[in-house]
Structure 1
Amino acid sequence: MAGQFDSKRISDVKLLDAGAGFGSLSIAFADRWLASADAEHSLSISAYEIDPNLVLPLRTRLSNLESSETSISSEVIEGDFVGHAVSMIKHGNEPFSHAILNPPYMKIRSGSAAHTLMASVEIETVNLYSGFVALALALVRQEGEVVAIIPRSFCNGPYYRSFREFILERSSLKSIHLFEKRDKAFSKDNVLQENIIIRLQKGVPQEDVVISSSSDGSFSDLETNVVPYEEIVFPSDPRKFIHIPSKDSSDALIRHPRYKSTLENIGLSVSTGPIVDFRVKEHLRKKASSEDAPLLYPGHFSERMLNWPRENFKKANAIAINSNTKRWLYPRGFYVVVRRFSSKEEDRRIVASLVDPNRLPETPIGFENHLNVFHQKKGPLEENVARGLIVYLNSDIVDNWMRNFSGHTQVNATDLRYLPYPDLQLLSRFGEWSTNYSKLSQVQIDNKVAGIR
């Protein structure tokens, strides 16, 4: 991370390390500074740490950097960084030239002390990691740099929109580093988010962005590319989504001339399955009767097809139809489902399956909360449209787009809404074509979707 900073600007440095832990990032920065700075230059480190068990070892490690020969000084501030930062911002202070961060990951409750404090300096966000980055950016002087390793979840979705606007309005996005294999980069941790390293520079014009990637934290297979900013944050996108290209995919879907529609403008919708099973335990059934509706879980789908009911299934196969459950049921018909939970290391991010009513009884249908459901105004899809969605969503061109777009371990309905789509006519053509085959291969799907013009 210390290597991300502009080497031409590391001379007289006032470094902020918020959530410093044992001081590893500050020490790495100091090592780099010592290798490049002249004798007359100085490095001053301000390290914030709230955990009292870490403060003493942090002080010891940073004090070991100090000597009459190095011109390095350090201070460790024990306590809440958010409160200290907000106070400095309100007094108009911008004391730092650089900030290096591995911030804590913790949701911020609306109305909490942290939320109230940050809102008082126009920072609205939902997690401490993004709050720390925003505060650090506010505390560095003009042309100051912030380098942080943070989850990728801020890049899209409505919850981080204010944070994206905050950083992109106040700074230039200089570089992004991707870890292509989360299980290698963070093998000692139970990491559920994909992490990236970002570098921001305050108050300078936006230029092209350096995108780098490596398999793990050793950076032994580092690859670097320069990408126009307009291909990362689309000028026409008011949500300021950040699209990060990776070395194993392309922008083929974005550039494809036939995939320019949104779900909304083709009259379709996608929603999270409304049935949360533990809240309706008394209505669940292992075996369906004539008074029950099929309840579909991810486990009811295999190789893009529905397998219901399942014998010896750990979950329910059905849900009672009554006044308590009717509001959650969909009319019988064709639907497309995509499981919500996935991870980057799996073969596919999107796995779409067909709900064929011919495999179900003459009743409404229940969808469990771990599925995303494509529908038309809470009703079924036209059959060829549904089959066309199966072809399109299971293509590599779409899967690569989703891998670039989303760093979640979930495939959310929100993510699927922002996917580019074919128009209804083309979806119907895909669906009609697919009925000529009993089982489509991945090569057939990819050739059809990528080759259409």
Structure 2
Amino acid sequence: MLERIIEQTNEYIEKRPKHLRKQFGQFFTSKETAMYMAKMFAIPEKEEIYILDPGAGTGILACALIEELERQGTAAAIHLTCYENDENVIELLRQNLKLIQDEASMAVDVRLYEENYIVRQEKVFNGSTDIEREQKYDLIIANPPYLKLSKNAQEAICMKEICYGAPNMYFLFAAMSICNLKEGSEMVYIIPRSWTSGAYFKKFREYLFSSGVLVQMHLFVSRDKVFDKESVLQETMIIKIRKTTKQPEMIRITSSNANDDYHNIETLEVPYNLVVSGDERYVYLVTNEEELAVLRRVNRLEGTLEKAGAKMKTGLVVDFRNRELLREKETDNAVPLIYAQHIQNGLITFPIQRENEYVIPDKRALIQDNCNYLIVKRFTSKEEKRRLQSGIYLAENYKGYSYISTQNKVNFITGVSEQLSRCMVYGLYVVFNSTLYDKYYRILNGSTQVNSTEINAMPIPDKESIKCMGKELIQAGDLSEEVCDRILEEYV
């Protein structure tokens, strides 16, 4: 059955280009991924099993799960509920569901709702209907839409309790599915990795971990071919969630190169509290013993930027919104505007004769005091060696200015109640330019963006240790990664 559904899906993909499917956030699961997801379930020993596929597409995942149930041979009857509201794919889905009903070895009862899954389930999620009378499911499997919504979208309003700003459809689906699960039952989702950290997904993580636990995460070493015949930029992962408040001692983390069809899978059993950690309930994405050692080493530290009297903030100037204030060259009242390109060999080099290096300080919100900072890139490419890239800015090198500014594609670390000392800035550079912390941040954050919320919560050495590291770096006169590693080794 699955082979035939995959063939028909590929024909559909050829006829309907990606830019049209992208309007619905529609990416189809490969055969190998669907089969692997189906195998992740702990199938309950019941004669009747209730399955939900809330974003059914062409029926690939539902079919893979039913074929897995056939192999295990425990259920005599399946009750399958599917949601799909893309009218372009509905007819193919109907054909494929009929194929499943006709050819499955057990009885399959199918309900297809040609409706918006989130909107239909709103009253269930918000408790404004008799939740006990609503159907709950033994198994939920999904590849939800990857689609950013406006904060005023109907789906966002339906689930406003877990939204922060403009949400993505995928985590609304995941939260609704947790609500739809029977107690003790499981869901398996393939989703982007972005939900695991940051303020944007905090409410979702709070909801997830108040209702369920992570049983397994599957991470991809390569993002290629996670979705067959698709070009997907998101870093994806597969998660298995069990609806229970009983936290397990360990979590299983598996990983593979997505090109190898899941034949060479690495497996780690990791303490649950090490993976799901901290007040923010971040989820750390470790794939091997080396990364596990990094996580243990850093997370035992008790310092933070806040405790050290510092804070990371996002650069102030968004170019396209303030074009009238930007200047190519220095004028009488213009101040330096620091870009990521000014980070060179561990220092801020200014000017470098790039366009718009100065800004007129007409808006107080766009300028900051000329004092000591550590400037950190907000964005890096996947191909770059380091995720954390920083440069030391010392006010003493730019005495002609009372103020400066920072472009929105950099972050800056500043003192909270007083200016950071020279030693503090150099000490923070040791931390941010080290191999250890670059690896740590990659484990914490699966994207290429460096978020201030995560950095401010990140464990670091205490303030006095940072000062001492800074003094050593100044004396060394060498800002290389190797020297930073050697200095940090003494303190962490």
Q: Secondary structure at the match of 1:436?
A: helix
Distance 1:183 1:14 in 2: 33
Q: CA shift at 1:408, angstroms?
A: 2.7
**1:299-328 deviation line (CA, Å, top 9, x unaligned):** 1222222222123x2x3111124xx23442
In structure 1, the residue matched to 2:118 is 82
Contact residue 220 and residue 257 of structure 2 kept, 8 A: yes
C-alpha spacing 1:153/1:258, structure 2 compared with 1 (3 Å) = closer
Q: Secondary structure at the match of 1:389?
A: helix
Distance 1:183 1:362 in 2: 51
Q: CA shift at 1:222, angstroms?
A: 1.2
Q: Secondary structure at the match of 2:313?
A: strand
Amino acid aligned to 2:200? Y
Contact residue 298 and residue 459 of structure 2 kept, 8 A: no
Q: CA shift at 1:347, angstroms?
A: 1.7
C-alpha spacing 1:113/1:251, structure 2 compared with 1 (3 Å) = same
In structure 2, the residue matched to 1:58 is 93
In structure 2, the residue matched to 1:325 is 363
In structure 2, the residue matched to 1:164 is 205
For structure 2, the residue ranges without an aligned partner over 5 or more in a row are 1-36
Distance 1:50 1:376 in 2: 51
Q: Under a length normalisation based on structure 2, what TM-score does the superposition of the two structures give? A: 0.83
Contact residue 14 and residue 98 of structure 1 kept, 8 A: yes
2:404 to 360, 365, 372: 365
In structure 1, the residue matched to 2:191 is 150
1:211 to 253, 258, 261: 253
**1:335-391 deviation line (CA, Å, top 9, x unaligned):** 111111125553211111111345546112110000000011387421111111111
Amino acid aligned to 2:394? D
Amino acid aligned to 1:115? A
In structure 1, the residue matched to 2:475 is 436
Contact residue 212 and residue 223 of structure 1 kept, 8 A: yes
In structure 1, the residue matched to 2:309 is 267
Q: Secondary structure at the match of 1:214?
A: strand
**1:275-313 deviation line (CA, Å, top 9, x unaligned):** 1122221221111134221111111222222222123x2
C-alpha spacing 1:371/1:183, structure 2 compared with 1 (3 Å) = farther
% of aligned pairs identical? Answer: 28
Distance 2:85 2:469 in 1: 57
Q: Under a length normalisation based on structure 1, what TM-score does the superposition of the two structures give? A: 0.90
C-alpha spacing 1:169/1:62, structure 2 compared with 1 (3 Å) = same
2:273 to 227, 230, 233: 230
Contact residue 46 and residue 74 of structure 1 kept, 8 A: yes
Task: Tell me if 1:2 matches 2:38.
Answer: yes
Of stretches 433-442 and 168-177 in structure 1, the one that deviates more from structure 2 is 433-442
Contact residue 185 and residue 215 of structure 1 kept, 8 A: no
Specify which structure has the higher proportion of helix.
2
**1:389-447 deviation line (CA, Å, top 9, x unaligned):** 11111111111111111123311111211111222221111111112334343233223
Amino acid aligned to 1:222? I
Contact residue 294 and residue 360 of structure 1 kept, 8 A: no
Task: Tell me if 1:278 matches 2:313.
Answer: no
C-alpha spacing 1:451/1:219, structure 2 compared with 1 (3 Å) = farther
In structure 1, the residue matched to 2:173 is 132
Residues paired across the two proteins, number: 444
C-alpha spacing 1:191/1:375, structure 2 compared with 1 (3 Å) = farther
Q: CA shift at 1:84, angstroms?
A: 2.4
Q: Secondary structure at the match of 2:155?
A: helix
Q: Secondary structure at the match of 1:400?
A: helix
Q: Secondary structure at the match of 2:448?
A: coil
2:282 to 213, 232, 241: 241
C-alpha spacing 1:378/1:278, structure 2 compared with 1 (3 Å) = farther
Amino acid aligned to 1:294? P
Q: CA shift at 1:190, angstroms?
A: 5.2
C-alpha spacing 1:94/1:171, structure 2 compared with 1 (3 Å) = farther
In structure 1, the residue matched to 2:222 is 181
1:356 to 379, 387, 394: 394
Amino acid aligned to 2:413? F
Distance 1:408 1:16 in 2: 30
Distance 2:263 2:328 in 1: 52
Distance 1:350 1:282 in 2: 32
Distance 1:372 1:190 in 2: 30
Distance 2:344 2:224 in 1: 26
Contact residue 107 and residue 128 of structure 1 kept, 8 A: yes
In structure 2, the residue matched to 1:195 is 236
2:80 to 27, 30, 45: 45
Contact residue 337 and residue 374 of structure 1 kept, 8 A: yes
Task: Tell me if 1:33 matches 2:50.
Answer: no
Q: Secondary structure at the match of 2:218?
A: strand
Q: CA shift at 1:183, angstroms?
A: 4.7
Contact residue 297 and residue 367 of structure 1 kept, 8 A: yes
Amino acid aligned to 2:343? F
Q: Secondary structure at the match of 1:197?
A: strand
Amino acid aligned to 2:342? H
Contact residue 335 and residue 405 of structure 2 kept, 8 A: yes
C-alpha spacing 1:191/1:346, structure 2 compared with 1 (3 Å) = farther
Distance 2:228 2:94 in 1: 28
Q: CA shift at 1:147, angstroms?
A: 0.6
Distance 2:229 2:479 in 1: 40
